[in-house]
Amino acid sequence: MDILITDPHAIRVKDETQLIEELDNLGEQVLKKYPQIATTIEEATMKSLFMWHGCLNIDKECKLKDVHGTKSEARMQVHNWLANQSTLNPWIGTGFTSARCFRQTPDQKKLKD
């Protein structure tokens, strides 16, 4: 945890002005490279946040066990439904692909489906 706090690139140590400037710069780069994503920086930011939120929820829902180490039939039903939907909905498919990057420590990877 100390590494995150002392890393100058960590979002937790940046002030509001720095975050806004970095977001604007990144947004301009993304819109130049991928103009089909959005027409404004605000729209690209909103889509990115929704995508991040969706991937985070897919990551949480598709763990084999919950935080207490319990396997859940309901969790697996949601996982299977999402897996089926991912073939029909490219956003859900992208969410599955992106969610793989969320938990990277060996013990966290074991919990993934």
6: how many CB neighbours lie within 10 A of its CB?
A: 9
pTM: 0.57
Whether 111 has a pLDDT exceeding 70, the answer reads no
For the chain, the average pLDDT equals 79
pLDDT at 78 (0 to 100) = 85
Average pLDDT over residues 55-59: 80
Q: What pLDDT digit, counting tens, does each position of 17-54 carry?
A: 998 898 889 888 988 998 988 899 889 888 888 888 88
Angle at 46 between CA 13 and CA 61, to 5 degrees: 80
Q: Is the dihedral of CA 25, 21, 42, 59 positive or negative?
A: positive
pLDDT-derived band at 1 (thresholds 50, 70, 90) equals: very low
Q: Are the C-beta atoms of 62 and 96 separated by less than 8 Å?
A: yes
d(CA 21, CA 57): 28
